[in-house]
Amino acid sequence: MPSDAKGLSSLLLAVADDELIIGHRHSEWTGWAPHIEEDIAFSSIAQDEIGHANLFYKLLSEVDGRTPDEIALGRQRGEYRHAIVCERPNGDWAYTLARHFLYDSAEQVRLEAFAESSHSPLSDVSEKLLREERYHRFHAEAWLERLANGPVEGRHQISAALISAMRDAVGLFEPIEDEEVALADKVMPNTSEELLQKWLTEVTKRIESAGIVLDLASKDGAELLPTSSGELPQPLEDTTQPASISYRDGRWVLDGTLSGFGGRRGAHSEDFTALWDDLTRTYREAPAATW
Amino acid sequence: MTYEDKLAEFKARIDSKDKIETNDWMPDEYRDAVLKFIEMHANSEIMGALPEREWIPRAPSLRRKMSLTAKVQDEVGHAQLLYRVAEDLGKSRESMFEDLINGRTKFHNVFHYPTEHWGDVAIIGWLIDGAALVTQRALLDCSYAPYTRVMRRICSEEQLHLRHGEDITLELANGTERQRWMFQDGLDRWWEPIMHFFGPPSNPAKDVLLRWGIKSKNNEELRGEFLDHYVPRILDLGFQIPDTGLHFDESTGHWVPGEIDWTIFWKIVKGEGPSTQARLSMRRKVWDHHRWVREALSEPLWSAA
Amino acid sequence: MQVWEVFQQKGHTDAYAHVGSVLAPDPLMAMSYAKECFFRRKEGMGLWVVRRADVHQSTDHGLLEQVTDKSYRYPEAYRGVVAKRELARAKFAPASAPRRAAAVAGDDF
C-alpha cells in the first residue's frame, strides 16, 4: 500500500468512473440495437464494463472506506472523474461503434500499463481485465472493418462518427488529479501523456489501414438520434476553431479546441446532467436501503 | 394423395399428439396460425424489453444494473430464438419488423404501459414474468416442434427471471416505507393489465389454436393457475390486491377474480395503449435511420483493393 | 446475411449438439453471435457454426426405417448366454470350482 493513497485513489476513481459511465451508455442500447443478435452481443459488453467498474470501485473502497455502491451512485455531479467522451449520448450506431473502438483501444493501452503497477491488487485486476478486453477489441475492430470496407453509406457514417468521437476521446488521457503522486509511487507506471502517445499511434494506424482519413476540422458530425428515453439531445457543440491531431517531430500534437477535456477535474458537460440524474435517481430515493 | 387426404392425415397426426417439424407438409391454415402465434410472441419479447430497460440506467446498485441488463438481454435473446422459428416458417425478419412498427401485427397487452419507478421493475420481474411462465409452460406441449424446443430454453430462463424478480420484490417488501410503497403502487397500476394478459374468455369450439394443438389450455385455466400461485404469496407480504371481488372459493378450492373490465384491453388490441404509439414510433425512427447498418450487414465483406 | 446453424459441445466426452441458429454476414460474426446467444451461461466448451446451406437434411423417412430383422445388432439378442453358461457348467465344471478374483469391470451378465 503506497504511503500516500491520494494518487492511487485518483487513479482508481478516474478509471472506475470511465468504466461505469461508458457501461451505462452501452447498456442503453439494450432492446434498441439495429440487429437482434448484435443487441445481445453489445449487452454483454455493457455488463462487462459495469463489472469492471465494480472491480475498480472495490479496490478504491479498500482505501476509501465507502462501499462500492456508495462511491458509484452516491456522489454529486462535480465529484465524478470520468472523461467527457464517456458521458456523450449514444447518438446512433455509428457514433456508438466509433466511441467503442476508441475507448477500448484506450483501455488496452491503459490496462497494459497498469499491469505493471506497484499496487499489486491493481496489476492483478488489470491482467484479468485484459482477457475480457480482447473480445471487446475484436468486436469493435470487426465492425470498423465491415463498415470501412462495405457499402458507401456505412463508410461515410463511420468516418464522420470517428471524427466526432475522436474530438472528445483524447480527453481519456487528460492527466488525472494527483498524477505526480501516482507516478512517484509507481502506482501509475506511465504518464497520461505517454499513454496518449501510444494510443494515438495505435488508433491512427488502425483507422488508416481501414482506409479512413481523420480530418478533425470537418464539419461532419454524427447525426444524433433521440436517446432511448425518447428525448432528442442537443447536437454536439460545433468547435469554433479548427482542431487537429498531427504527428510532428516524432510525437503527436493536439492543436485547436478539442472538446473532451475537464472530466478528470470534475468539469462535465450538459450531457452529464441527465445521465447523473438517471444513474443516481433510484439510489437517492433511499440511500441507506438495500435493493 | 388429394389435398383432403393430406389434410385428414395431418389432423390425425395432431390429434395423436405427433410433432410437426419445419419441413413437414402442413396445411396453410396451420402454417398461418402457428406463424402468427409465434410472431406475436417474438414481437412481445422485443417490445417487452422496452419498459424494463428504462430502469437499467436508473438501477439502485451496480449489481442490479448488471443483473437487469442481463435479464433484458435474455428477453432480447428470446425474441431472437422466436423470430428464427417464425422466419423458418416462411416470413423474413425484415417483414416482421416492418409489420410490427407499422401496427399491422400485435404484441401482448402488458407491454403497452409506461413504468414509473423501481417498484414497476419488481412487479414486471416477479408477477408479469410469473404470468408469462404460466402461459409458456403450457406451450411446451405445442404440436409445432421447433417452437417447443425454443420454449424449453425460454422457460428455464424465465424461471431464473422469476427468482430475480422475487429477490427484488422481497428487498422492497422488507425495506423502508418508501420501498414498500413502491411495490404497492406498482401493484395498484399493474393488477388489471396482468388479469388482461391471459386474454378474455374464449369459445373453445372456435379456438383455432386449441384445434391445431398450438395451445393446450384455455385463457381461464391459465389465469386461474396464476391466481392460485401468486395471490397467497402477495398477501403473505402484507400487500393489498386492488380487486375487491377477488376471493377464495371454498367449494372449488381456487382463487377467483372479481369482474374484469375489458375496455382498455380492446383499445390496446387496436393499438391505442398508453405507450403504444410512442414506443412504435421510436422503433420506427431507429429502424429507418439504421437502414445503412442492415445494408452493411447484408453484404459479404469486399476489400477496397 | 445468412442463417448459421450453431453446434455446442458440453464437455470432452460429449458430441457436438445442435442448439439453434443465428443470422450473421460472415463466420467470425456468426461465432460471436452464437457465443452470445447460446453460451451466456457457460453451456459448453466447444462451438461450431455451419452455413445452413451446408447442412443436408434427410427428408426421406424411409432412409432411417429398419424393415427387416436386425436384432442381432443388439445386446438383448444375447440374453440366452446365461442359460447356456449354466448348461455347460453343470456338465463340465470340475469338482472343486476354480478360484475367482474380485468382481471385474464388464461383468454384465
Interchain contact B297–C (C-beta under 8 A): yes
Note the pLDDT of residue A219. 52
Cell of C99: 478360484
Q: Tell me the C-alpha distance between A173 and A194, whole Å.
A: 9
Note the pLDDT of residue A229. 46
Which amino acid would we find at residue B297? L
- Which residues on adjacent β-strands are paired with residue B256? B247
Note the pLDDT of residue C58. 87
pLDDT tens per residue across span C71-98: 999 999 999 999 999 999 999 999 998 8
Residues 6 or more apart whose Cβ sits within 8 Å of residue A123: A114, A115, A116, A117
Chain B, residues 89-118, CB within 8 A of chain C, namely 93
Q: Give the model's confidence band at A218: pLDDT under 50 very low, under 70 low, under 90 confident, else very high.
A: low
**Nearest alpha carbon to residue A98 among A157, A50, A18:** A157
Q: Kindly list the partner chains of chain C, i.e. chains with 3 or more CB atom pairs below 8 Å.
A: A, B
Nearest-Cα residue of chain A relative to residue C40:
A44
Residue C19 near residue A140, CB atoms below 8 Å: no
Residue B247 near residue B235, CB atoms below 8 Å: no
- Regarding beta strands B254-256 and B247-249, do their DSSP bridges make them parallel or antiparallel, or are they unpaired? antiparallel
Across chain B, what does the average pLDDT equal?
A: 94
Residues 6 or more apart whose Cβ sits within 8 Å of residue B167: none
Higher pLDDT, A122 or C100: A122
Phi, psi angle pair for A97, to nearest 5°: -65, -40
Q: Tell me the C-alpha distance between C25 and C53, whole Å.
A: 14
Partner residue opposite A41 with nearest CB, options C23, C25, C36: C36
**DSSP tag of B128:** I
Q: Is residue A122 over pLDDT 90?
A: yes
Chain A, residues 134-193, CB within 8 A of chain C, namely 138-139, 142, 146
Partner residue opposite A37 with nearest CB, options C28, C36, C40: C36
Mean pLDDT, rounded, for B48-62 = 97
Residue A4 near residue A181, CB atoms below 8 Å: yes
Domain-by-domain residue ranges, chain C?
2-53
- For chain B, give the number of residues: 305
* pTM confidence score: 0.92
> Residue A146 and residue B296: Cβ atoms within 8 Å?
yes
- Which residues on adjacent β-strands are paired with residue A255? A244
Note the pLDDT of residue A233. 45
pLDDT tens per residue across span A176-213: 999 999 999 999 999 999 999 999 999 999 998 888 87
Q: Tell me the C-alpha distance between B66 and C44, whole Å.
A: 22
Which amino acid would we find at residue C37? C
Partner residue opposite B298 with nearest CB, options C1, C22, C59: C1
Set of chain A residues whose Cβ sits within 8 Å of the Cβ of C29: 142, 146
Residues 6 or more apart whose Cβ sits within 8 Å of residue C65: none
Interchain contact A232–C (C-beta under 8 A): no
Interchain contact B2–A (C-beta under 8 A): no
Set of chain A residues whose Cβ sits within 8 Å of the Cβ of C32: 41, 138-139, 142
Phi, psi angle pair for A233, to nearest 5°: -80, 160
pLDDT tens per residue across span B131-164: 999 999 999 999 999 999 999 999 999 999 999 9
CA distance B70 to chain C (A): 9
Tally: H helices and E strands in chain C? 2, 3
Partner residue opposite A40 with nearest CB, options C25, C29, C37: C37
- What do you get for the CA distance between the two ends of chain B, in Å? 57
Q: Is residue A149 over pLDDT 90?
A: no
Chosen for mutation from C36, C37, C40 (greatest number of chain A CBs closer than 10 Å) is C36
> Residue B300 and residue C25: Cβ atoms within 8 Å?
yes
Lowest mean pLDDT among A133-142, B58-67, C17-26, C99-108: C99-108
Number of CB pairs < 8 Å for A and C?
A: 24
Q: Is A252 helix (H, G, I), strand (E, B) or coil?
A: strand
Domain C2-53: CATH superfamily is: Phenylacetic acid degradation B (3.10.20.520)
Exposure class string for B54-79: b at 16+ Cβ within 10 A, else e? bbbbbbbbbebbbbbbbbbbbbbbbb
Cell of B45: 419479447
* ipTM entry: 0.94
Across chain A, what does the average pLDDT equal?
A: 89
Residue B145 near residue B19, CB atoms below 8 Å: yes
Q: Is residue B34 over pLDDT 90?
A: yes
**Nearest alpha carbon to residue A173 among A105, A122, A238:** A105
Q: Tell me the C-alpha distance between A133 and A138, whole Å.
A: 8
Q: Is residue B118 over pLDDT 80?
A: yes
Q: Kindly list the partner chains of chain B, i.e. chains with 3 or more CB atom pairs below 8 Å.
A: A, C
Note the pLDDT of residue A72. 98
Set of chain A residues whose Cβ sits within 8 Å of the Cβ of C37: 37, 40
Note the pLDDT of residue A238. 52
Cell of C77: 439378442
